[in-house]
Amino acid sequence: MSAKAIYIGVVGVGGVGSHFLSQLSKLPNAPSLVLIARSSQTLTSPAPSYQAIPPADWQSAFSSGSFTKSEAWSPEQIATYLSGVPGRAILVDNTSDPTIANSYPIFTSKGISIVTPNKKAFSSSLQLWKDIFSTAAANNALVYHESTVGAGLPVLSTLRDLVNTGDKVTRIEGVFSGTLSFLFNQFSSPSPSTAGEKKKWSEVVSKAKELGYTEPDPRDDLNGMDVARKLTILARIAGLEVESPDSFPIESLIPGELAKLEAGPKGTEEFMRLLPDFDGKMDDLQQKAEASGKVLRYVGSIDVPEKVVKVGLQSFDKDSAMAGLKGSDNIISFYTERYGKLPLIVQGGGAGGAVTAMGVMSDLIKVLERLR
């Protein structure tokens, strides 16, 4: 509880990273920022003073002479540097890079705590998950990754509270992708649609792409992998030993006939050009749902006692919380023994730089509280 010297290194200064550094500059009693790694360069504060890099002015710090500028460092180099500080060290990984994620055990083995929105480390092989948490426990390192599911929404912390206090989580169900939320809230709305305003699936996807609501390649949203990674993380916290995000059924929204288009911008263009040919199938599904008073949603679900994890389309009653979803909101329902028939629900924006960085920052604050 007495204030100990704590140092942090930040990897990634993109959408999340820049918001994080801005939030860090306003944090009272902030830890000393001693490393900033971007794809091409690494800035470090030299020993033995380890003078703090000002988070608000990190860009000019790169050109000032006070700090050491190096080429891109490997995760090993970053871990070695951070393990040399005269106090506790925290790695804040604001990337979605699998290379650094695969190296987390190198950090935790050295007692370096980790705070990150990077899903890769927690949704790849089960062995990596086990390596991270076992080396962390053995070396007094903490690992917090709230923003890997639902960005700043209190999803993982809520699930961990339920599990740690001995509640039995029976089912987790939700819309875990802001993009797929937006697409289906548009395509399959609970308010009765007149023939004139009925939207074709390909048009909805196209418009979302224009608005920047999808990844540059919409197939990265439509293949369901992002949702599958989030489900993998939740299932593991709930106690299921999910081997990888490929080890359960994922219903891809990429038509089978288009699955073999090449990756990259050319393939994306071809995909968007051909997508209207498949509007009929999505229309059929939507009309079938509507005929029974329902709407379509792309959901992930985990049946804990049955150990079944699923990602795909489902229909929901028009007066359900799922149907009432707005904008690009996420919704996550936890069904547990203590809560009974009605679930504990968390809902809200689950994507975007500011709220993702907020999840990272609130994790950092908790790690600081525990290390100090």
Residues near 295 by beta carbon (within 8 Å), at least 6 away in sequence = 184, 188, 189, 190, 289, 315, 316, 318, 322, 323
268 binds a copy of itself (CB under 8 A): no
Of 55, 117, 152, 224, the one binding a copy of itself by CB under 8 A = 152
198 annotated active-site: no
**Cβ of residue 177: shortest distance to a copy of itself, in angstroms?**
16
Q: Which residue has the tokens 């073999």?
A: 260
319 binds a copy of itself (CB under 8 A): yes
119 among the known binding-site residues?
yes
1 binds a copy of itself (CB under 8 A): yes
168 among the known binding-site residues?
no
Nearer residue to a copy of itself within complex by CB, 24 or 128: 24
Residue type, 304: V
Round to whole Å and give the CA distance between 90 and 214.
32
- List phi, psi (to 5°) of 315: -105, 145
Can you read off the two tokens belonging to residue 279?
């509007």
Of 7, 12, 23, 230, the one binding a copy of itself by CB under 8 A = 23
261 binds a copy of itself (CB under 8 A): no
Site map for a copy of itself, 184-203, x if CB under 8 A?
Answer: ------xx------------
| CA Rg value for the chain | 22
Of 48, 65, 166, 256, the one binding a copy of itself by CB under 8 A = 166
215 among the known binding-site residues?
yes
Round to whole Å and give the CA distance between 102 and 168.
31
Q: Give Cα separations from 192 to 284, 288, 294 (angstroms).
A: 17, 14, 11
Nearer residue to a copy of itself within complex by CB, 39 or 140: 140
DSSP 305: T
Can you read off the two tokens belonging to residue 40?
């091409």
Nearer residue to a copy of itself within complex by CB, 306 or 319: 319
**Residue span binding a copy of itself (CB under 8 A) among the ranges 50-58, 89-97, 261-269, 345-353:** 345-353
Of 16, 36, 153, 351, the one binding a copy of itself by CB under 8 A = 153
127 binds a copy of itself (CB under 8 A): no
Round to whole Å and give the CA distance between 191 and 283.
17
285 binds a copy of itself (CB under 8 A): no
Can you read off the two tokens belonging to residue 75?
């995760």
| Number of chain positions touching a copy of itself (CB under 8 A) | 46
Greatest pairwise CA separation for the chain in angstroms:
71
162 binds a copy of itself (CB under 8 A): yes
Q: Give Cα separations from 274 to 213, 258, 268, 281 (angstroms).
A: 20, 8, 10, 14
Catalytically annotated residue among 120, 209, 230, 294: 230
Q: Give Cα separations from 118 to 97, 149, 167 (angstroms).
A: 7, 10, 28
Q: Which residue has the tokens 């920052």?
A: 361
**Residue span binding a copy of itself (CB under 8 A) among the ranges 70-78, 97-105, 239-247, 343-351:** 343-351
Round to whole Å and give the CA distance between 24 and 285.
47
Give the residue ranges of the annotated binding site for L-homoserine.
215
The residues annotated with a catalytic role in the active site are 230
Residues at the contact surface with a copy of itself, assessed by CB under 8 A: 1-2, 23, 26-27, 140, 152-154, 157-158, 161-162, 164-167, 190-191, 319, 321, 324, 326-327, 329, 338-349, 354-355, 358, 361-362, 365, 369-371
